[in-house]
Structure 1
């Protein structure tokens, strides 16, 4: 019984510590760094493959476009930018937090999403990793000195053959 109570207190302390560190990282992301740094990857998944190959067989997409849209508290667009992926399907968005006129962006009001794929055989956006609907920058991946980095995704496109048909009037 005493061991269970000790384990329970240890779990409570760990949860408190994780929550505290999370709050510090989020506060640092909003206040300390001069830039919002977002990295991720864009891949192609082919739904016609068997499950094992579908899960492990995704290929990077070069020159796919990913965007970041930052709003203000009144839900007005304050910044829009984009980046293309490299040959490994990786992108690296770097946004200055201070805009012209001294206005400051807040990372938690920014959304990163898929824009386009240059690969016509794999250009249907999916919502795996929330690439189609967008990912809010809530929790930084790394906070170190003047660097606050968010990592999103991976985001996925799929082949036209895998596109789900649009249903109209429930037919």
Structure 2
């Protein structure tokens, strides 16, 4: 019985420490570094494949556009930028936290989302990974010295055949 209590106390202490480290890391990310660095991937997912191929068979999209929109406290756009994906479907957005007019961007007020796909056979945005509605930059993936990096996605487009039909009058 005493050993169970000791184990329980130890687990509670570990959870408390993890919570504190997470809070400190997140707070440091909001205050440290002079850039907001966001990386991710854009893929094509074909719904006509069987389940195993659909899950594992996504292909990267070269030249897809991903945007970042940062708001101020009054819900006005402070910054808008975008990036193209490379041949591996990866994007890498770098934004200065301090804008030319002296305004400081807060990562938690920024949103990253899909904009467009150059692939005509795979250009319907999906909300897998919240690519269509956008991802808020809540918790950084990496915090090391001056590097604060957020990783989002992967984001997915699908084929026009897979698009959900839109019905009028809810029929």
Interval of TM-score (by shorter of Structure 1 and Structure 2): over 0.9
Is the deviation greater in 138-147 or in 24-33?
A: 24-33
| Aligned twin of 1:128 | 128
**C-alpha displacement of 1:7:** 2.6
CA distance, structure 1, for counterparts of residue 9 and residue 26 of structure 2: 26
**C-alpha displacement of 1:100:** 1.7
**C-alpha displacement of 1:157:** 0.3
Structure 2 segments unaligned to the other structure (5+ residues): none
1:64-79 map, 5 Å = 64-79=64-79
- Describe the superposition over 1:68-122 as per-residue Cα deviations: whole angstroms up to 9, x where unpaired: 0000111110000000000000000000000122110000110000000000000
**C-alpha displacement of 1:29:** 1.6
Is the deviation greater in 33-42 or in 158-167?
A: 158-167
Residue 37 of structure 2 is aligned to residue 4 of structure 1: no
- Describe the superposition over 1:24-62 as per-residue Cα deviations: whole angstroms up to 9, x where unpaired: 121122111000000000000000000000000000000
**C-alpha displacement of 1:63:** 0.3
Report the 3-state secondary structure (helix = DSSP H, G, I; strand = E; otherwise coil) of the residue aligned with 1:154: strand
**C-alpha displacement of 1:21:** 1.5
CA distance, structure 2, for counterparts of residue 33 and residue 167 of structure 1: 48
Q: Taking structure 1 as reference, are residues 42 and 4 closer, same or farther at Cα in structure 2, changes over 3 Å only? A: same
Residue 119 of structure 2 is aligned to residue 113 of structure 1: no
Question: How many residues end up aligned between the 2 structures?
Answer: 171
| Aligned twin of 1:45 | 45
1:10-89 map, 5 Å = 10-89=10-89
Residue 121 of structure 2 is aligned to residue 143 of structure 1: no
Instruction: Report the TM-score, using the length of structure 1 for normalisation.
Output: 0.97
CA distance, structure 1, for counterparts of residue 10 and residue 123 of structure 2: 49
Structure 1 segments unaligned to the other structure (5+ residues): none
**C-alpha displacement of 1:135:** 0.3
Instruction: Report the TM-score, using the length of structure 2 for normalisation.
Output: 0.97
CA distance, structure 2, for counterparts of residue 74 and residue 19 of structure 1: 30
Following TM superposition, where does structure 1 have runs of at least 4 consecutive aligned residues deviating by more than 4 angstroms?
none
Report the 3-state secondary structure (helix = DSSP H, G, I; strand = E; otherwise coil) of the residue aligned with 1:75: coil
